[in-house]
Copies of this chain bind each other. A is one copy, B any other.
Amino acid sequence: MNAKVFRFAHRTRLLAPSMILELMKLMGQPGLVSLGGGLPSADGFPSEAVREASHRVLTQHPREALQYTTTEGLLALREWVAARLSQRGLAVQASQVLITSGSQQGLDLVAKMLLENGTQVAVEAPTYLGALQAFAPYEADAIEAACDDAGPLPERLAELAGARALYLLPNFQNPTGRCIPHARRVQIAAQARSMGLPLLEDDPYGDLWFDQPPAAPVAAHWPEGTIYLGSFSKVLAPGLRLGYAVSPLPVHDLLVQAKQAADMHSSTLAQYIVLDLLRTGMLDGHLDDVRIRYRIGRDAMAQALHTHMRDLATWQIPDGGMFFWMTLPPQIDSASLLPLAIKHGVSYLPGAAFFARNPMRNAVRLSFATESPARIAQGVAALAKLVRHTLTAQSGQAQ
């Protein structure tokens, strides 16, 4: 009946029910070892500092913190972002910074500005599935850049000519965990510049390095052709829903207009709280704690994979971020296996979800950010047992 009343735009056909949304329903099972989600560890949230910041803000500036604010976001917060990025090698003015509701909103707004039916957008293979979701309703064709373990291959970027942008996650990529080395960044920027292929650089994980900070952003090598997205979700807390988009001025002006039409501005209260937190100078010490915590998780997962999986799968050990990307034997379809895995007490994300065009069906993404080392070991052991069992059963059937 409703279907007859409402006529939907063509783009709604491209809004596939999110695999993540569907999986999250399955993943509510108590006791499940959740290697699937990308949730930061709540143990690492600076809860007390947020409580104190919130109290200060609502005592000192309640009228401002509860009122509408400018679409761009608080100037002092934008200045902080500009200064921070400049320290990391990306020279930026506050006037280029737009505060967004997480970097997910940055993806949506950029897509809204650049993409439409009949255009192409290039992505890594695999890439962040939330980006694929953000791009889909704008009806562009997603095409895949050829990649190796160090990221997109500069010599093959020419295949992407004409795309409205190349979407990159250079630091500890979701899902692969890979980090693009400095030299590759320089090559990608040079090649993209020579082609006139804009870059969309998404960097939620850059601060989550374990041994040494990643190289300067790709944007540093082609600032006038790159839109850079950052987030407070992984360095402070995702529930605040704050991120930022940094772009050359003509793009910035359009993004601000699009942001105003989309939701006026991001939560003023959340912006005041984050600004207050940052001004206490707590961030670097807090990040040291987060890095130690995630590094322990990374080591626990590396150990568990080595113990249980070394004859079954291949993986790289990431130098930061939250994820391992694991390739299982080709006869394993990780999406089909998932319901069984959940029944056996462990979840992961099937690798196929992370491809725009040509999915790998035998890969999985494993997160080491959410669970304790002991539970990571337990989950990996359960998964290994299940994979081993499945291979045996399949080989039995084949005979």
Specify which chain B residues have a CB less than 8 angstroms from the CB of A237 in the assembled complex: 66-67, 269
Which of A12-20, A284-292, A339-347 forms part of the interface with chain B? A12-20
How far is B114's CA from A264's CA once the two chains are assembled, in angstroms? 21
- B-side contacts of A268, CB under 8 Å: 238-241
Q: Which residue of B lies closest to A162 (CB)?
A: B7
A108 CA / B10 CA spacing, docked (Å): 16
Given A67-B237, A266-B241, verify A2-B250 contact (CB < 8 Å). Answer: yes
Pairwise interchain contact A5-B239, C-beta atoms closer than 8 A: no
A105 at the interface (CB under 8 A from B): yes
Tell whether, in the assembled complex, residue A42 and residue B58 are in contact, meaning their CB atoms are under 8 Å apart. Answer: no
- With an 8 Å Cβ cutoff, the count of chain A residues facing the other chain is 91
A43-76 interface with B by 8 A CB criterion? 43, 45, 47-48, 50-51, 54-55, 58-59, 62-71
A15 to chain B: which residues have CB within 8 Å? 254, 257-258, 261
Instruction: Give the CA-CA distance A371 to B68 in the complex, in Å.
Output: 16
Q: Mark A237-281, 1 if CB is under 8 A from B, else 0.
A: 111110000001111011011101111111111100100000000
Q: Are A67 and B239 in contact (CB under 8 A)?
A: yes
B133/A112 in contact, CB under 8 A: no
CB neighbours (8 Å) of A170 from chain B are none
Contact with B along A11-46 (1 / 0, CB 8 A): 110011110010010000000000000011011010
Within the complex, the shortest CB–CB distance from A249 to chain B, in Å, comes to 7
Residues of B within 8 A of A158 (CB): none
Contact string, A111-148, partner B, CB cutoff 8 A, digits 1/0? 01111100100000000001001101110000000000
What are 18 contact pairs spanning A and B, CB under 8 A?
A6-B225, A6-B248, A9-B138, A12-B113, A21-B71, A21-B260, A43-B63, A45-B63, A47-B62, A48-B62, A50-B66, A51-B54, A66-B240, A101-B101, A101-B266, A102-B264, A112-B137, A240-B269
